[in-house]
């Protein structure tokens, strides 16, 4: 940990629409609101620029690395509001021309990009009523990503990654894990809180989980319940449905005390 003072973090919950401009406007409003309330690190949800019933719609707004209007928006918003900004996910050009990378981009308060994480685990879910197959339009990433910020090292994962604890172990010693998400209602009801609290407890760190939450213009329903969880697995704050800001203070003392009284990370043998 860097320093002993608290560091306010914010998860932004959205109900993204089919027009990118509408979603950027809403994201700007929420980022500004979080910054006004003292947030120094702000995270948007997965698919924040677009949720559409046509799964190929994301291909039409994909951007080249380090060039594009959505990336320009994220850089400018971070600089304008003086925050570390974790930009949910945006569609980036992939090696396969028929797919995109579902990329989470991180910007410093100066508007400089400091990290990019491409979602590794691609969601597949099939019931009588629901079917999702991200691999049809998304190309998987293959690299674990962390970056340095004032609270310490921060790890980045996305949504379905939550189900794969080995990814989080590979991040090493982190103060915070950020997980932009767009969980379905059925899987969210069953596992969302359970998985987030488990990742916090087993890695003895804070978890920040901004989510999509509500009924979208496209007809899709997402679970919401954006959460901030502390290293003991206690929920510091949450928001059920609808757009909004979830705030909590990342406390270095809580991290240190948790690891001191139960040094599980030092007890690992594998």
Kindly list the catalytic residues.
46, 119, 159
Q: Angle at Cα 264 formed by Cα 259 and Cα 266, nearest 5°?
A: 90
128's CB contacts (< 8 A; 6+ apart) are none
Map residue 75 onto helix, strand or coil: helix
Residues 6+ apart with CB under 8 A from 91: 49, 50, 58, 59, 61, 62, 63, 100, 101, 102, 103
The one-character DSSP state at 171 is T
Beta-bridge mates of residue 145: 156
Give residue for tokens 């019931």.
Answer: 127
- CA 22 to the chain's CA centroid: 20
Phi and psi for 241 in degrees, rounded to 5?
Answer: -130, 160
Which residues are within 8 A (CB) of 168 and not within 5 positions of it... i.e. 6 or more apart?
155, 157, 177, 199, 202, 203
**Residue 211 and residue 11: Cα distance in Å, rounded?**
8
Size of the chain in residues? 270
In the numeric block, which tokens belong to residue 130? 């629901």
Instruction: Spell out the long-range contacts of 127-130 with Cβ–Cβ below 8 A and sequence spacing 24 or more.
Output: 127/186, 130/184, 130/186
């Amino acid at each position: 940990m860097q320093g002993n003072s608290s560091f306010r973090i914010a998860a932004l919950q959205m109900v993204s629409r089919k027009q990118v401009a509408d979603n950027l406007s809403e994201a700007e409003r929420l980022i500004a609101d979080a910054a006004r309330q003292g947030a120094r690190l702000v995270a948007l949800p997965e698919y924040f620029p677009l949720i559409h019933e046509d799964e190929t719609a994301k291909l039409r707004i994909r951007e080249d690395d380090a060039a594009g209007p959505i990336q320009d928006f994220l850089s400018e918003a971070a600089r304008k509001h003086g925050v570390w900004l974790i930009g949910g996910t945006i569609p980036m050009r992939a090696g396969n021309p028929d797919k995109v990378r579902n990329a989470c981009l991180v910007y410093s308060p100066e508007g400089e990009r400091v990290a990019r994480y491409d979602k590794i685990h691609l969601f597949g879910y099939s019931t009588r009523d629901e079917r999702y197959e991200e691999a049809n339009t998304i190309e998987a990433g293959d690299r674990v990503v962390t970056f340095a910020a004032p609270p310490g090292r921060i790890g980045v994962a996305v949504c379905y990654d939550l189900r794969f604890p080995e990814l989080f172990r590979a991040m090493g010693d982190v103060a915070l894990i950020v997980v932009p998400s767009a969980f379905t209602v059925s899987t969210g009801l069953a596992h969302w809180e359970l998985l987030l609290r488990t990742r916090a407890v087993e890695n003895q760190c804070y978890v920040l989980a901004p989510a999509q939450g509500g009924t979208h213009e496209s007809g899709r329903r997402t679970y919401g319940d954006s959460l901030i969880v502390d290293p003991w697995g206690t929920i510091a704050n949450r928001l059920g449905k609808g757009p909004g800001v979830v705030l909590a203070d990342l406390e270095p003392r809580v991290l240190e005390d948790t690891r001191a009284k139960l040094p599980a990370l030092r007890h690992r043998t594998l």
